[in-house]
Structure 1
Amino acid sequence: MKVSLAEIVEGQLKEVDLEIEDKIRVLSYFGDEIPLVTPVVFKGKAYDANGDIYIKGIVESMAEYSCCRCLKKFQQKIIGEVHEKLIKEHSPKAEVDEYFLIKNNMIDISEIMENTLILSLPMKIICDENCKGLCLVCGKNLNEQACDCEKDEIDPRLAKLKDLLQ
């Protein structure tokens, strides 16, 4: 979604409030597809600080995850903070990939919102901090019921150490 920043670029205003809703459907995260169940909302502002243009605000949405331990589907809100420097199209720094470009006084805010949400995701997505996961032997969800499987596994490289205890 493109947003006009013409008033700031041309020096008419120092600050513009932004409230944008975008329908990003899916986030790609380490090869997984995370569906977003609500539209992505950005609330913030674009402002000029000594000739440099910045965008600052909060991005949020509701996503549907699959727990890394028990594989259960659950929904949880994602919230991320945006604080990005924007570069004009013909600036000497425009060739650097670290900045978002203002082209024809417009900025594509969808990319900023998507990157912010991806960066705010945890490395391991779990449904609950106390999630017990799945049984390694029978595959039952240990959060729902216990299993009677024998879990006396020993790494074959350490098997000789077990003999010392007997």
Structure 2
Amino acid sequence: MSLTFFTPPSITTTIFNLCIHFSNPKTTLFNSIKIPSLPPKISKFHPLYPSKTLNLICNNSQNPNVNSQTKIAFNYDFDEDSSNSPWEGALVYKRDPKVTHLEYCTTLERLGLGKFSTEVSKTRASIMGLRVTKAVKDYPLGTPVLVSVDVCRKKHKLRLDGIIRTVLSLGCNRCGEPAAECVFSNFTLLLTEEAIEEGDVIDMGTLFGESKQNTSTNPEEDEDDDDLIDMDDRLYFPPEENEVDISKNIRDMVHVEITINSVCNPGCKGLCLRCGANLNTSKCGCRKQEKEKYSGPLRNLRSEMQKK
């Protein structure tokens, strides 16, 4: 990524405009007497648009109509640590040949899903018996996410089969109020000692593992179903490493459980289509007004026929 500075010949107070060039340009303004400290500002845009060009335009605040500018271009190396994901390190698998079952506990907030954590999700999780353990230091009052994992050891690889249990707070499809959506999601991760390489053939559909033509001829490997595991669920775990972060995979699987059909209550009445009132907590007179609107000689025909 490159930055371009445009500076007038003489300036006293400087206004820097940071413009990101892509389909929908955005501008961030900040004041400085000299060239500003770039990392606090630009590092926020780097993860979103890593391959875009940034222009930093410096104008004279005393004479904003100055057109004389000097162009200075240079490259700025971003600090990779500044763009780390907030959920990294939430769930880490540690190599241990004696352990075949593991229990993890974290929270939605720790996985970067705090917007789906409310008192509704916390209450439902408590009713279900899901609790945040004492080992959780970050967001101990958040919505718990429990992960149970069974470890199966094979030649040059480890297979993790597990289940995720948590509660998401989503908007009710009928009234829009917070609704608790229980999550029980199975997952499988394959940790391999060999580097993972995707094929050169582009498949417009879903790619599950390796193609039949590239599978091994070893009958022992053909008997298992590891080749059905998606490429995104395979992690490189070299033998010299003792830990591997599985937080992103768990977060993605929780994300998949987000639905638009969640309801706060099976008997939710929803909203009035005319005035928008919540029929669960209030009443509206739209139906009465609609009945009074229709009048005529046949308005009482239905009631008279029902009497007969």
RMSD: 3.0
Partner Cα distance (1:64, 1:98) in 2: 26
% of aligned pairs identical?
A: 22
**Residues 19-58 of structure 1: matches in 2 within 5 Å?**
19-25=103-109, 26-27=112-113, 33-35=115-117, 37=122, 38-58=143-163
* Higher RCO, Cα 8 Å, sep 6+: 1
Residue aligning to 1:106: 243
Which deviates more, 17-26 or 121-130? 121-130
The 4+ residue runs of structure 1 with deviation greater than 6 A are: none
**Residues 13-24 of structure 1: matches in 2 within 5 Å?**
16-24=100-108
> Secondary structure at 1:111's aligned position in 2?
helix
Among 157, 172, 175, the alignment partner of 1:70 is 175
Partner Cα distance (1:50, 1:133) in 2: 55
Residue aligning to 1:3: 93
8 Å Cα contact 2:188-2:233 kept in structure 1: no
Letter in 2 for 1:110: S
Using the size of structure 2 for normalisation, the TM-score is: 0.39
Normalized per residue, the structure richer in strand is 1
Letter in 1 for 2:237: I
Letter in 2 for 1:100: L
8 Å Cα contact 1:40-1:60 kept in structure 2: yes
Residue aligning to 1:164: none
Q: CA 1:92/1:72 → structure 2, altered by over 3 Å: closer, same or farther?
A: closer
8 Å Cα contact 1:86-1:100 kept in structure 2: yes
Among 264, 268, 272, the alignment partner of 1:127 is 264
**Residues 76-155 of structure 1: matches in 2 within 5 Å?**
76-88=181-193, 90-93=194-197, 97-102=232-237, 104-149=241-286
8 Å Cα contact 1:133-1:143 kept in structure 2: yes
Q: CA 1:100/1:128 → structure 2, altered by over 3 Å: closer, same or farther?
A: farther
Number of residues of Structure 1 aligned to a counterpart in Structure 2 = 141
Larger Rg computed on CA atoms: 2
Q: CA deviation at 1:99?
A: 2.1
Q: CA deviation at 1:50?
A: 4.8
